[in-house]
Structure 1
Amino acid sequence: MKVQLLGYKIKCLHFGSQAEGTTVPGLQSDIDFLIGRNSLNIMRVRRDWKAGFINLLMLYDEITSTQQCLLHVYRMNTPKLVTELFDNRFVRKYSGEVLMSAERWKDEIEMINKDKGDVTQNWPSVSWIHNWDMVHAFAVCKPLPEIQHWIDKCTGRPWPPAQLLEAARVASCFLVPAGHPDHDCKREEWRLSPDLIERMLLL
């Protein structure tokens, strides 16, 4: 509520064992908190470009794996690739394209919040509250082939029910700043996370 009143386009969600009721008293499970940002436009294809936004195109190539992608940066005033490194979060790919770096995104979150206490990074999480894992992610509001493929495989089966599959079809997914540990480009990679769909399946 606070960040929305301040005008930020952010969706805050609790995930993990505490929110899902899958922990027990005394276990002292971490609180998993996802901050999904809608202020950037995540594109599946170039025609998803929107004027006035930082536009990021999800890219899969020979160095990414399942659920991992790179984010090509497009201009705000025209659907063309950015060529200059005018933002500290940007890096240049080996082939020359400008990417939004997952690692530098986390570094910026840490720097912005350094006055709030001891800031710690733990893989995708950047947190300044004890016992909280806070993941700052980008919301993906476009239909995703990966999700549709899963829905197609499940259609006609007793479970999940058709109503849940329809809800999954329109649910947002998130890109979290977490590269594959074995990849050379792990500092630039983002992981696709269908947290809302996973919660539907659990509940």
Structure 2
Amino acid sequence: MNNKEPILMTEVDNNEMYEQGKDGKVYLKSEFLQYPVDIVDEVHGPALNRMSTKRGIDEDYVFACYCSNLPKEAMDWIDRTKDKPWPKDPVRKRVIESGCFLVAVGHKQGKDLRTDFRMSTTLGERKLMFDMNISQLQCLVLMKMLIKTIVNKQYKDAIKSFYCKTALFFVTEQYGKDMFREDRILECTRKCLHWIYKSLVNGYNPHYMMSSLDMFEGRLDATLREKVGECINDIINNPILAILIIEFDEFGRRLYNSIRNSEHYISETQEIIRSNIGNFLYKAYVLSLKGPSLYDDPWNCDLEREIELNKAKLSRCEILHQQGDIFIQKETERYR
């Protein structure tokens, strides 16, 4: 805008702040708001990363222009979340009122990076994060540790921390916050990882609040997506093994030692262990039934009915033991 009256500028001389486009309009240069990099500083996207010697911590600085409204690209999010389990209306209202930033960095495949800006909904995402419970935050931390230990060690920086947070948002939107409990953290983490895996398979990773934006664009080609997808799928299929090799703070080793030395772990009787194994094998292999639901309360059941059901299962098990192949006979024997 002209600084003397509220009309758009139409002409500009050689200026480090402005540039006249081919369309005749005058644009603010994004590079004017970018930090000059010296020996001790690093730039990541729009952020300058600097080590604060006084505070002894890493700090990020970002020049940004604030806009009091969400961009039109986020209107789909407003409509999409109306009837979803999460976020609830009060949180949605705070997110909508939070506005957005314009930050001085363009798209990786942009035609003119000097005048390209990026929209950032970081304030809205911050409001969403403050609505998370402790199990959701633990799930996010576990997911990031798995990604950094296993995936990004093989394929450097292929999966950003931002993708993990986005997956958590989408999964919470779909299932609600109540699913995230301390006794379900592992299963919830797998659901979040599966979201990332599906994005890799589909070749499209939508931004949570601006779903028309593909966060993979200009970053991961089809070959790399396939390799990274296989790696994440291995974690999903072998979560316990994956957790036990987490290197951060020797997390995996300490967890293994804790389990190995646990009184509960070594005090279970052989009968209980065999019973648990048999029940799992029965459900997984013999009857081809799904295992216990993620949402079932194991203590809230009709005991007498369960006994009758187990008698029926055992009767069918006897038949399968007589008629099945060697594999079925072994599993039914274990179940019996």
Coarse TM-score class (shorter-chain normalised): 0.5 to 0.7
The share of aligned pairs that are identical, in percent, is: 23
What residue is the counterpart of 2:274 in the other structure? none
Q: 1:195 aligns with which of 114, 119, 122?
A: 122
Count of aligned pairs: 124
Residue 185 in 1 paired to residue 112 in 2?
Answer: yes
CA distance in 2, matches of 1:158, 1:101: 42
CA distance in 1, matches of 2:126, 2:120: 12
| 1:91 alignment partner AA | E
1:105 and 1:84, CA in 2 relative to 1: closer, same or farther beyond 3 A? same
CA distance in 1, matches of 2:40, 2:13: 30
TM-score, normalised relative to structure 2:
0.33
Query: Contact 1:148 / 1:169 at 8 angstroms: preserved in 2?
Result: no
Q: 1:137 aligns with which of 52, 64, 71?
A: 64
**Which is greater in Rg?**
2
Task: Specify which structure has the higher proportion of strand.
Answer: 1
CA distance in 2, matches of 1:137, 1:149: 24
Gaps of 5+ in 1: 1-73
SS in 2 for 1:138: strand
Tell me how far 1:93 sits from its aligned partner.
1.4
SS in 1 for 2:64: strand
What residue is the counterpart of 2:20 in the other structure? 92
What residue is the counterpart of 1:122 in the other structure? 44
1:143 and 1:199, CA in 2 relative to 1: closer, same or farther beyond 3 A? closer
Tell me how far 1:184 sits from its aligned partner.
1.7
CA distance in 2, matches of 1:94, 1:174: 26
- Map 1:139-154; keep pairs closer than 5 Å: 139-154=66-81
CA distance in 1, matches of 2:99, 2:14: 29
Task: Specify which structure has the higher proportion of helix.
Answer: 2
What residue is the counterpart of 2:3 in the other structure? 76
CA distance in 2, matches of 1:184, 1:146: 20
Residue 175 in 1 paired to residue 109 in 2?
Answer: no
| Offset from partner CA, 1:36-75 (integer Å, 9 cap, x none) | xxxxxxxxxxxxxxxxxxxxxxxxxxxxxxxxxxxxxx21
SS in 2 for 1:147: helix
CA distance in 1, matches of 2:129, 2:50: 29
TM-score, normalised relative to structure 1:
0.53
CA distance in 2, matches of 1:178, 1:87: 19
| 1:126 alignment partner AA | L
Tell me how far 1:86 sits from its aligned partner.
6.6
1:170 and 1:86, CA in 2 relative to 1: closer, same or farther beyond 3 A? farther
What residue is the counterpart of 2:90 in the other structure? 163
Tell me how far 1:119 sits from its aligned partner.
4.3
- Map 1:33-52; keep pairs closer than 5 Å: none
The RMSD of aligned alpha carbons is 2.4
SS in 2 for 1:175: strand
Tell me how far 1:122 sits from its aligned partner.
3.1
| 1:96 alignment partner AA | G
